[in-house]
Amino acid sequence: MTLSRALDKISQITADKVNWPNHLPKVIAFDIDGTLSDNRKLMKTLNGNPLRGCGKFGEPNKEVIKGMRFVRKLGYKIAIYTARAKSETQPLKRWLNKHKVPYDYLWLDKKPPFIILVDDRVVDVGKKMWFRDLLSKLRIICQK
């Protein structure tokens, strides 16, 4: 798929009046763990105890961050969300700033309103899921 076709697909998805209510904001939501942050190495160090991972994040997923910059240039707002506790807000902000991750909204504990969700798993939240194969789709979109 060419960049032009990917842009057309984004436009089609967001302009579909049947499936997208007009009141929804033009927001693309990105998950942290397993999407923006490759936490596979981190998970191996936790010995089955996720509390040991509090305040820690994996390596940044540069392909996803590149895709975020791309869709932001198209005029979308970026919401970052995680199921992590609100006490992790400051460590998360430091991680995002350190890795120059663009975002407009930061949501902890619950999912923000969005029209497109980028997540490492497909969950039924009543929205269309996009990027089923996240990395391959972002590579397609970000190709020059």
Domain CATH number, residue 30: 3.40.50.1000
In a domain, 62, yes or no: yes
Output 97 or 39, whichever has higher pLDDT. 97
Q: Looking at residue 144, what is its pLDDT? A: 38
pLDDT at 84: 76
Q: Is residue 8 part of a domain?
A: yes
Instruction: Provide the whole-model pTM.
Output: 0.62
* Domain range enclosing 92: 3-15+25-142
Q: Does 31 reside within a domain?
A: yes
pLDDT in the model for residue 96: 94
- Compute the distance between CA of residue 121 and CA of residue 5 in angstroms, rounded to an integer: 24
Residue 20 lies in a domain: no
pLDDT, one tens digit per residue, over 83-94 is 777 888 898 899
Asked whether 76 and 28 are in contact (CB, 8 A), the reply is yes
Q: How many Å apart are CA 128 and CA 29, to the nearest integer?
A: 12
Which DSSP symbol is given to 33? B
Can you give the pLDDT at residue 24? 58
> Does residue 35 lie in a domain region?
yes
Highest mean pLDDT among 7-16, 25-34, 107-116: 25-34
- Is 86 among the domain residues? yes
Is 42 a residue whose pLDDT tops 80? no
Three-state secondary-structure class, residue 15: helix
pLDDT tens-digit readout, 53-106: 456 788 888 888 888 888 888 888 898 888 777 888 898 899 999 999 999 988
Give mean pLDDT, residues 133-141.
45
- What's the whole-number average pLDDT of the chain? 68
- Percent of the chain predicted with pLDDT > 70: 49
As for how many domains the chain has, the answer is 1
In order, the DSSP letters of 72-132 are HHTT-EEEEEESS-GGGHHHHHHHHHHTT---SEEEESSPPP-SEEE-SS---SSS-B--T
CA dist., res. 28 & res. 122, Å (int): 15
* Mode of pairing for the β-strands spanning 105-108 and 77-82: parallel
